[in-house]
Structure 1
């Protein structure tokens, strides 16, 4: 359930104006989301603390209803002009009105604060070095030299959206309920869980997308109806709009395993890292050396290292890491175990 819908139903419940089926939907949303549960608890507590326990409130609401009805009837003269039995307490009216205004303002403020983080944008850019990023949902991104990407800071929570300039290799965690959208030049790629390479440098004539596994849907940014479905061992080519302003058709070419490997070779030929956590560095080493790494220490996983590796063997890499921290390791076939 979207947050605006949730807040709408919660406000109806707090004002005792919610239908049975709406209340059922609200209960399901709260039970399925820890965030919604905490928000509902906070707002309910706030309203209970601010509730004015005075029968005059009900009378005031009745008066407001009468005024609204009179307005709807064009103020037909059916009023009793006899002296009023009791005057409306202006101070009480202002007090109750301020409570309602404060409650509405608080709800809006909490909603804005909850959504502000999701609207913030995170940016990663590279110069003469490459970069690796592990996003909150587990998606892995290798960013090539002279490239940049932006993504929403609450990535994977309610949406997954990335804008790429340059080249990147994506290994995307599958999430059918929250697809990933990648904007690169004049195309948009919709992903649910797959691995692929995108080459979208603005100074190159073409944008190229090579699919390793899974399925991706590629469409023109300005024409979402113009789309293709890319399958494994296929490469998509389209003229770069930023280079020549063209709006051309997609070209799909088959690509063999060796050529596909060359498409992503840049991700593993040189490994450059600066103050990288070992748990993140291990993911890059696994890809470079095609093996599995287990780190048997929670503290060691958070240990940070810096360095550059090109032609070194995995053993030489581990020995180099030992110079920075006295870790121990064992290598058995394609399994590396690291511990204190």
Structure 2
């Protein structure tokens, strides 16, 4: 049985990395037939991992209920009891290998530019270990840079895009993240910053520790966040003052968002390669998809922009995402080359 366990682990890893041959696929099926308890493990690693959930507009309860029923039919799989020890040993081995594979793939997508500047392309992600040991996970279409004297008296980096930070504590050398609209000062903490120049908001979400936020246009104003809080700063406030968002506050302190199923933090699910949003407008989701999939998306009817959606996707391509959104929303879409056009139904 231990030999079967080892072989099963090897085959599942190859399946995850899409390197399974036809003969190996048959071998995997044979192993599963010999011991049906392994099917629960495969369900845990595969079916649950690839499920998606989408529902439309919190004000349209009937749409929500219909979507939930569709999802229940999709993921309704009968499960059997699996011996706990066997399950934990095999699952731990496979998941550890999956994490390693994902980490290596994550790390391979950084493009080093001149000096200490790193850039990810649209549709790719990466990570970076700084000279002080702090770790940064870098989302797609993001640039990070730091000066040659990083770590001598302070630790400062410059960010355009989105990144997740796990900072080594050093009271004598504060860590500062500079963006176009806000600066974030930390001692040792875990947080996420989203600061794309083409988006209407800059956000910082605190997972643990503490951070101080100052505005680039008003350095006298210091905002301190507690764990599980996030700050949302509207960009170009003066330009937007007469627009449709004029009644929204320029600065909003709110709680981070969590999935109901497992309390995962929505703002940081991207580091697990999960595309997630909660009660976001179609306009904001489109910006997210542009960075994620490197596509151009045009909303032909402005009345669709403020419709709210929630969803979680893992391993889905842009067509899968658009199909799910259009299924639950009031729009259809067409694609021409690398451009997607969204129109009312």
- The structure whose residues are more often helix, as a share, is 1
Bigger-Rg structure (1/2): 1
Compute the TM-score of the two structures, normalised by the length of structure 1: 0.41
Compute the TM-score of the two structures, normalised by the length of structure 2: 0.41
